Amino acid sequence: MSGTSMTTRAWLLMLPLLVVMIAVIGWPLVDTVGLSFTDAKLVGTGGNFVGIDNYAKMLANSNFQRTLITTAWFAIVSVAAEMVLGVLAALLLNQNFKGRGVLRALMILPWALPTVVNATLWRLIYNPEYGALNAALTQLGLVDAYRSWLGEPGTALTALIVADCWKNFPLVALIALAALQAVPRDITAASLVDGAGPFKRFRFVILPYLVGPLMVALVLRTIEAFKVFDIIWVMTRGGPANSTRTLSILVYQEAFSFQRAGSGASLALIVTLLVTLLAAAYAALVRKTAGSAT
């Protein structure tokens, strides 16, 4: 069979998928871009062309700037904590001990729970009147009175980050554990014979095997953390005093609560652009580290 007909066949085979992709991703994207240049409302009239007005207004808005900082802080801290916790958990679960299988199964549980369930659970834990966290801390003598963890701007974001970590570190742990299983036993054994301590062994023998898979986890988690919505919506709705409002919540309010579809679309596209840039930066980093590892 000739090359050209192979190519034609390949395209034909992909055609149904392409059509679906264009319908569910391509068209809405084009539509959103169009919408972002109008002052369209969610219901009613189609809206007038306003050029880059929506973008200019949004970027100059102090609410947007503050929300961007909140989102970045949430993403950086929670993803960093998830990576560290995930790797530590994976190292632990890679050891040989009794009950390892049960522990591995248990660890995946928070990740398997729907986010809304997870968020409701943490709301109960943080409850300022009857919450388990307050009960535990007072009984241990760490705090002298019950505190309002989600009601104070100083603690609300951190409390959300803890809840998000609890839900998402198992994913990192799972990826890291899979990578650890691929480390050849004779190499670790050889490093032991050479007298490498646990830290050196991790840094020079094990870590190179982990870097690639961990970069994948990092990209996935960063993108997700940047888009965080449900856990915050359920736990604080962006409060207190907007201290936990992230970009996705701002998009939601703009487009659906205030019904400014045009302005909401422009904001959504700004978020999309930011996430795409982040992903591209990571991808470049992965290529570099993968190149140096081999």
- List contacts with another protein (CB under 8 A): 41-44, 63, 128-130, 148, 150-153, 236-242, 253, 256-259, 261
Give whichever of 101 and 154 is closer to another protein, judged by the CB atom: 154
Give whichever of 152 and 224 is closer to another protein, judged by the CB atom: 152
Give whichever of 94 and 259 is closer to another protein, judged by the CB atom: 259
- In whole angstroms, give the CA distance from residue 132 to residue 124: 7
Give whichever of 23 and 42 is closer to another protein, judged by the CB atom: 42
Query: On the CB side of 239, how many CA atoms lie within 13 Å of its CA?
Result: 10
Which residues are CB-neighbours of 113 under 8 A, at least 6 positions away?
121, 167
Nearest to 88 by CA among 203, 182, 173: 173
Give whichever of 128 and 208 is closer to another protein, judged by the CB atom: 128
Nearest to 179 by CA among 216, 128, 234, 141: 216
Give whichever of 213 and 262 is closer to another protein, judged by the CB atom: 262
Shortest Cβ distance from residue 35 to another protein (Å)?
12
- In whole angstroms, give the CA distance from residue 45 to residue 274: 30
Shortest Cβ distance from residue 286 to another protein (Å)?
38
Nearest to 188 by CA among 173, 199, 202: 202
Shortest Cβ distance from residue 72 to another protein (Å)?
21
**Residues 26 and 33: beta-carbon distance below 8 Å:** no
Shortest Cβ distance from residue 107 to another protein (Å)?
30
Shortest Cβ distance from residue 132 to another protein (Å)?
15
Query: On the CB side of 32, how many CA atoms lie within 13 Å of its CA?
Result: 18
Shortest Cβ distance from residue 124 to another protein (Å)?
11
Query: What's at 165, amino acid-wise?
Result: C
